[in-house]
């Protein structure tokens, strides 16, 4: 089956549910919602990939501004935020607003009860950090997309 590009959400998810295609690279949240509605779709278990599981930081980026008005207070906050206690608090708070693809804290030494089981980071699993500078080299990805688009146009 040739790769097919879709123009908008939820077109890819609709095609998957209708059986037009057997695989869709689409939004995790959409597939979870479609499955909850009883549509015949499911998410793949990413731990089955030999390359490892992709993991991203999402809203877990923290910045200390240069010349902050209270640099010591900012450092105290950052140290607390990155501590075990701070990450537990952050994870519990953000779990209220978590979407189906979020992993919670990247710390492995805190409880993950408030994170959906399929999204929990687990010891012994190989993860591919998506914040690595190598991940942002888009040349290979752009080449693959261009080749797929050229194939579709044939």
Question: What pLDDT, in 10s, does the model give residues 93-133?
Answer: 877 766 655 667 888 899 988 887 777 888 888 877 776 66
Task: Say how many C-beta atoms besides its own lie within 10 A of residue 24's C-beta.
Answer: 20
* Nearest of 49, 73, 74 to residue 64 by alpha carbon: 74
Q: Hey, which residues does 127 pair with through a beta bridge?
A: 53
Task: Give the mean pLDDT of 75-81.
Answer: 93
Q: What CA–CA distance (Å, rounded) separates 71 from 94?
A: 26
**Which residues lie below 8 Å from residue 31, measured CB to CB, with a gap of 6+?**
13, 16, 24, 41, 42, 43
Confidence of residue 14 (pLDDT cuts 50, 70, 90): very high
CB atoms within 10 A of CB 131: 13
Gap between the Cα atoms of 56 and 131, Å rounded: 6
pLDDT at residue 92 in the model: 85
Confidence band for 57, pLDDT divided at 50, 70 and 90 = low
Question: Rounded CA gap, 31 and 46, in Å?
Answer: 14
Is the pLDDT confidence value at 76 over 90? yes
What 3-state class would DSSP assign to 128? strand
């Amino acid at each position: 089956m040739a790769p097919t590009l879709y123009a908008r959400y939820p077109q890819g998810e609709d095609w998957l549910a209708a059986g037009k295609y057997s695989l869709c690279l689409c939004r995790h949240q959409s597939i979870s919602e479609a499955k909850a509605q009883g549509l015949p779709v499911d998410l793949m278990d990413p731990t089955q990939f030999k390359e490892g599981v992709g993991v991203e930081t999402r809203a877990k980026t923290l910045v200390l501004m240069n010349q902050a008005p209270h640099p010591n207070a900012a450092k105290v906050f950052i140290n607390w935020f990155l501590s075990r206690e701070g990450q537990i608090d952050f994870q519990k708070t953000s779990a209220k607003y978590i979407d189906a693809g979020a992993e919670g804290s990247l710390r492995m030494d805190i409880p993950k009860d408030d994170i959906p089981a399929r999204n929990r980071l687990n010891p012994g699993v190989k993860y591919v950090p998506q914040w690595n500078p190598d991940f942002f080299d888009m040349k290979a990805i752009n080449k693959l997309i261009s080749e797929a688009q050229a194939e579709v146009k044939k």
